[in-house]
Amino acid sequence: MNNETIHGKSDYLNYEFDLFTLPVLFAAIPILYILPTICVVIRIIRVYIDHVFMKKDEIINPHVFSVIVLQFVISFIYILADYSTIRLPSTGILTSWCSSQQPNHGLKILYFLSVYLNYIALLFPFLLSILRSLPVFYPIRVSELCARIVRIGTPIMFIYPFLFCFPLFPALGDCRQLLGSYPFGSIYIYWSQSLFDAVAIFHPSSSVYLVAIRPYGNDCDFVLVPWIFYSTHPIFKIEKTESNGTARRVLTL
């Protein structure tokens, strides 16, 4: 990673995308497990709408279920934003176009969304832990307290990241060459001219490899949690037995 923009440089302007490179392979691999996970998330959302909004089923805690579904949606949007700033540009498919773009707010917004949504995704497990602990400490007032915490906590989670992201408001996004073993034309989207200049990259030659590994950790959060939730939550077992005409109701949170 470096601090030099590729804007206007002729070798980047004339760059020709090559489909058969390692960055393209590494960018394509996540599609193999993200697409099936999207199908599972859609299934979860369908069951959520059916039982919470249509049937108003008391078999589930609608507040906990709502937070879980929102977490899946935010995690997916975060993966898209992160994919657009690191993985996709590293393939070289955007290099020529990005080199022709002056530093602008549009590219900055892509990076901003990646950082902003990352903060929110990290806060969801904390909120879910609180909601899951309520039946233990306040079993009689679970529904009331869950509703209050979700009503107050959800807006706070969406506002809180701005405390750390607001220096990016005046910044301009641009594209830069990835260093290390990345081939020429592998770029990433970053920014410059932020408030205070709060951020610096230490050991840029090493950080480029950490940036390549980090998205797979984010993928684990999006992929493993929905699959485990879908495989273990009783509501989906009930859905299967209902389809066979032998449903058995079990109260669950």
Question: 245 pLDDT exceeds 60?
Answer: no
User: What's the whole-model pTM score?
Assistant: 0.85
Count of domains for the chain: 1
pLDDT value at residue 64: 87
Q: State pLDDT tens for residues 162-172.
A: 998 998 999 99
Does residue 116 form part of some domain? Answer: yes
Does residue 250 form part of some domain? Answer: no
Does residue 1 form part of some domain? Answer: no
Q: State pLDDT tens for residues 142-164.
A: 888 899 999 999 999 999 999 98
Does residue 103 form part of some domain? Answer: yes
Does residue 3 form part of some domain? Answer: no
Does residue 114 form part of some domain? Answer: yes
pLDDT band of 109, cuts 50, 70, 90: very high
Section 76-91 average pLDDT: 91
- In 77-221 the beta strands, taken as DSSP E runs, fall at 172-177, 187-192
- Is the CB of residue 175 less than 8 Å from the CB of residue 98? yes
Does residue 191 form part of some domain? Answer: yes
Does residue 253 form part of some domain? Answer: no
Enclosing domain of residue 136: 10-243
